[in-house]
Amino acid sequence: MKKKISCLFLSLIMLISVSVPVSAATHQSTGTYNGYHYILDGVRYDEYAYSTGAYAKHQYIFCYITAFVSDIESGEEYSTNRSASGYGDSSSGVTTPTIYPANNCAIDEIYTYLTISGTRVGAFWL
């Protein structure tokens, strides 16, 4: 009897974990460019997304993000871009404006990257 109850309990847990979608994700990309360290953070929720980049050298950088959004009711998809620029070695780095999808829409994934001296670095999908 104990075996049946524990099996039922585990089955319920597995069913719940499979049926509940993950609505949040974060990722960090790090590396070096021209001998200086950079960091790129991406944050994606169903309801919003943004990226923050930093560069150890006092140099102007650009941070870009594209969010791929789908309409929950119709299934139509669209993309939205945001960018920010500034000196990457500031205390907070450079953060893109937050992307908020339209009503009844959710962000499916993002693509983000930094540009330093015209070179794309740290790019990733999330």
Residue 23 has a pLDDT of 67
Q: Is 69 exposed, middle or buried (0-12, 13-18, 19+ CB in 10 A)?
A: buried
Please check whether residue 56 lies inside any domain of the structure: yes
Residue 9 has a pLDDT of 40
Q: How many structural domains comprise the chain? A: 1
Please check whether residue 97 lies inside any domain of the structure: yes
Indicate which CATH number applies to the domain containing 106.
2.60.40
Please check whether residue 15 lies inside any domain of the structure: no
Please check whether residue 17 lies inside any domain of the structure: no
Residue 120 has a pLDDT of 95
Structure tokens at 117: 């001296």
Residue 19 has a pLDDT of 39
Enumerate the β-bridge partners of residue 94. Answer: 53
Structure tokens at 82: 């945001």
Please check whether residue 4 lies inside any domain of the structure: no
pLDDT along the chain (126 residues), means of 10: 42 41 80 94 94 93 95 90 91 91 92 94 93
Residue 93: give the domain boundaries: 24-125
* Per-residue buried b or exposed e for 72-108, using 16+ beta carbons within 10 Å of the residue's own CB: eeeeeeeebebebeeebeeeebbbbeebebeeebebe
Please check whether residue 89 lies inside any domain of the structure: yes
Please check whether residue 65 lies inside any domain of the structure: yes
Greatest CA span in the chain, whole angstroms?
67
Please check whether residue 19 lies inside any domain of the structure: no
